[in-house]
């Protein structure tokens, strides 16, 4: 372990961006976040009530009491709720920057993960109950009924394909499987959810009991789908296309920092108008052979100037390895900035920044964005000295901010980064906001010791770096 208190700048030629609050009005207050969250819950509940209302008004007592009536009714209910939740899913990950600025993409993704299983489960129950209900009505077995669906019912084959796309997407998102496949495969299959919703629309409108013979319900449902499509087209396509044409980002240079770390410096126009805060990230797409179709999230590792912005990438997959060979002038497309892991989360006057390995990329830009003379303390936890990222730049920033840097080096079994060490390095830890960035394992480990120290949960902010 080494501890360094900086007395002088070691690299005066390093040109740092002084923090200027050009967009401090974008900082959401706690009341604003709570208000927006409550409003979303209310809107979601009203929508769910309308969906259930459409379902119940479309059934009669005689239909319920007839052969297979109960199973078909429950199948219709689960289909409507499951599809409604699927629409909510795509809105949550539509990269709507209005929601993301207030709630943060981490929160939106968290809700997405919570809702997704219920959507798939309900639609699966719909498939089972509807098949059983129709087989009871026609007095045949379920296998014959499935064959009849495909051969006799309009838009049923496309519905089965849509269900298969949803099921495959859900299976590959199971944590055990997700960690064992390439991100590129998971991402590609995940896009099938859009295809599933598009091709299932005709099936729902054409065969759904809530819509057959109910033109008002059909118009309402169609309007909802059009609204969702408009949100996706606006935030996933229209706005990013406009911004990328305006900024015209290109690869300026590729700098190899180590066997695993690479910095990509991109040039463009009016990059200071990105309104990015330290700690935020973009989705980056490099228009080069073999990787042009992929977009990956990377934090900025330095605050952008008017002409330049930098990211630093660790080689953990095919994409991150391929970008090491990018040529100067390669076109770059970005979406963002995203994330609420910024100085605007800070409630106290001082901050403690703790990184695990590559997590320093986000903390480096966050450190740069902190006010001058804010006395931040930075702890960089790595296994070996070769993993230290931006050592010299951080020294320069620490001098500027009148802070302190602690580098904790060594394997876990030899150097125990626990509550005792944290308290020794940062005696006033309870009076600081703590910003954590690193792997899930590192975050969980550090959170445990911070909680043992009694650091209030509302003063702990973290960003997980994962595949």
Which has the closest alpha carbon to 308: 366, 266, 264, 255?
266
CA distance 111 to 94: 13
Cis geometry, peptide bond prior to residue 337 (ω within 30 degrees of 0): yes
pLDDT digit string, tens, across residues 132-147? 988 888 888 888 888 8
End-to-end CA distance of the chain: 29
Selected residue with higher pLDDT from 386 and 19: 386
Does residue 273 register a pLDDT over 50? yes
Does residue 454 have a pLDDT over 90? yes
What's the rounded mean pLDDT across residues 411-433? 91
* Strand residues in 268-359 grouped as ranges (E): 281-286, 296-302, 308-314, 332-338, 350-356
pLDDT, position 109: 81
Sequence ranges of the domains in the chain: 2-23+342-464, 29-242, 248-338
Q: Are strands 404-409 and 2-4 parallel, antiparallel or unpaired?
A: antiparallel
pLDDT attached to residue 372:
82
User: According to the model, what pLDDT value does residue 22 have?
Assistant: 42
Residue 438 predicted with pLDDT over 80: yes
Q: Identical fold at 2-23+342-464 and 248-338?
A: no
> Per-residue pLDDT for 69 more than 50?
yes
Q: How far apart are CA 280 and CA 341, in angstroms?
A: 6
Residue 88 has pLDDT above 80, yes or no: yes
Chain CA centroid to CA 128, Å: 32
Binning pLDDT at 50, 70 and 90, where does residue 188 land?
Answer: confident
Predicted local confidence at residue 243, as pLDDT: 92
Which pLDDT value is given to residue 29?
A: 54
pLDDT digits (tens, 9 = 90+) for 318-349: 788 888 889 999 999 999 888 888 898 888 99
Q: Which of 298, 83, 96 is CA-nearest to residue 193?
A: 83
* H or E element, residue 439: none
Strand order in the sheet with 261-267: 250-256, 261-267, 308-314, 296-302, 281-286, 332-338
User: How do strand 332-338 and strand 2-4 relate by DSSP bridges?
Assistant: unpaired
- Quickly tell me which residue has 């900024």 as its tokens: 247
Q: What percent of the chain has pLDDT over 90?
A: 35
pLDDT of 176: 85
Q: How far apart are CA 284 and CA 333, in angstroms?
A: 6
The pLDDT value recorded for residue 406 is: 93
Q: For residue 4, is pLDDT > 80?
A: no
pLDDT confidence of residue 21: 42
What's the maximum distance between 2 C-alpha atoms anywhere in the chain? 87
b/e map 31-42, b = 16+ CB within 10 Å: eeeeebeeebee
pLDDT of residue 33: 66
In b/e form, how buried is each residue of 66-97, taking b as 16+ CB within 10 angstroms? eebbbbbbbbbbbbbbbbbbbbbbbbbbbbbb
Greater confidence, 36 or 397?
A: 397
Residue 449 has pLDDT above 90, yes or no: yes
Picking from 220, 211, 213, 300, the residue whose alpha carbon sits closest to that of residue 263 is 300
| Res. 363: pLDDT tops 90 | yes
What's the pLDDT at 230?
93
Provide the mean pLDDT of the chain.
84
**Reported confidence tier of residue 100, pLDDT bands at 50, 70, 90:** confident
CATH superfamily of 248-338: Translation factors (2.40.30.10)
Q: What per-residue confidence (pLDDT) applies to 28?
A: 52
* 279-295 pLDDT tens trace: 999 999 999 988 888 88
* Residue 189: exposure state from Cβ atoms within 10 A (0-12, 13-18, ≥19): middle
* H or E element at residue 236: none
At 466 the pLDDT is 63
Can you tell me the mean pLDDT for 202-225?
82
* H helix and E strand count, the chain: 17, 12
- How far is the CA of 166 from the CAs of 30, 59, 109, 279, in angstroms? 36, 28, 18, 33
Residue 29, token pair as written in the block: 């207050």
Q: Once rounded to an integer, what is the mean pLDDT over residues 20-33?
A: 50
Confidence (pLDDT) at 323: 87
pLDDT of residue 55: 83
Highest mean pLDDT among 57-61, 82-86, 100-104, 388-392: 82-86
Instruction: Give domain 2-23+342-464's CATH number out of 3.60.20.10, 3.40.50.80, 3.20.20.70, 3.40.50.2300.
Output: 3.40.50.80
The sheet with strand 460-464 has its strands ordered as 2-4, 404-409, 377-382, 350-356, 432-438, 460-464
């Amino acid at each position: 372990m080494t501890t360094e208190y900086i007395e002088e700048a070691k690299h005066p030629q390093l040109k740092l961006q002084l923090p200027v609050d050009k967009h401090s009005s974008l900082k959401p207050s706690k009341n604003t976040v709570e208000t927006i969250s409550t409003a979303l819950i209310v809107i979601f509940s009203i929508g769910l009530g309308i969906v259930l209302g459409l379902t119940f008004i479309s059934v009669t007592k005689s239909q319920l009491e007839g052969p297979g009536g109960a199973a078909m009714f429950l199948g219709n209910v689960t289909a409507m709720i499951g599809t409604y939740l699927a629409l909510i899913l795509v809105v949550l990950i539509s990269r709507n920057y209005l929601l993301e600025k207030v709630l943060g993409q981490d929160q939106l993704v968290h809700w997405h993960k919570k809702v997704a299983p219920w959507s798939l489960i309900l639609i699966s129950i719909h498939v089972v109950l509807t098949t059983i209900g129709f087989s009871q009505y026609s007095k045949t077995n379920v296998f014959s009924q499935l064959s009849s669906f495909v051969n006799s019912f309009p838009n049923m084959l496309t519905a089965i394909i849509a269900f298969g796309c949803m099921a495959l997407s859900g299976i590959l998102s199971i944590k055990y499987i997700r960690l064992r496949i390439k991100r590129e495969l998971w991402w590609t299959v995940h896009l099938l959810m859009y295809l599933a919703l598009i091709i299932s629309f005709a099936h729902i409108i054409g065969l759904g009991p809530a819509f057959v013979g109910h033109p008002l319900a059909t118009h309402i449902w169609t309007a909802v789908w059009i609204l969702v499509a408009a949100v996706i087209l606006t935030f996933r396509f229209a706005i990013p296309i406009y911004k990328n044409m305006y900024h015209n980002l290109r690869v300026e240079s590729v700098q190899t920092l180590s066997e695993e770390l690479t910095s990509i410096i991109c040039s463009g126009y009016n990059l200071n108008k990105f309104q990015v805060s330290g700690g935020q990230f973009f989705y980056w797409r490099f228009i080069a052979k073999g990787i042009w179709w992929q977009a990956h999230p990377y934090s900025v590792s330095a605050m952008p100037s008017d002409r330049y912005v930098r990211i630093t990438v660790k080689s953990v997959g095919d994409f991150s390895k391929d970008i090491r060979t990018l040529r100067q002038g390669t076109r770059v497309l970005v979406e963002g900035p995203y994330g609420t892991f910024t100085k605007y989360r800070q409630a106290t006057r001082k901050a403690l920044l703790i990184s695990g390995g590559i997590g320093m990329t986000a903390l480096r830009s966050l450190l740069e964005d902190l006010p001058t003379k804010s006395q931040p303390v930075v702890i960089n936890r790595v296994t070996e000295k070769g993993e230290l990222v931006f050592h010299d730049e951080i020294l320069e920033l620490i001098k500027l901010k009148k802070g302190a840097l602690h580098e904790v080096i060594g394997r876990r079994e030899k150097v125990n980064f626990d509550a005792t060490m944290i308290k020794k390095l940062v005696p006033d830890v309870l009076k600081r906001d703590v910003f954590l960035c690193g792997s899930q394992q590192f975050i969980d480990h550090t959170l445990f010791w911070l909680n043992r120290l009694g650091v209030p949960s509302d003063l702990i902010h973290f960003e997980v770096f994962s595949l």
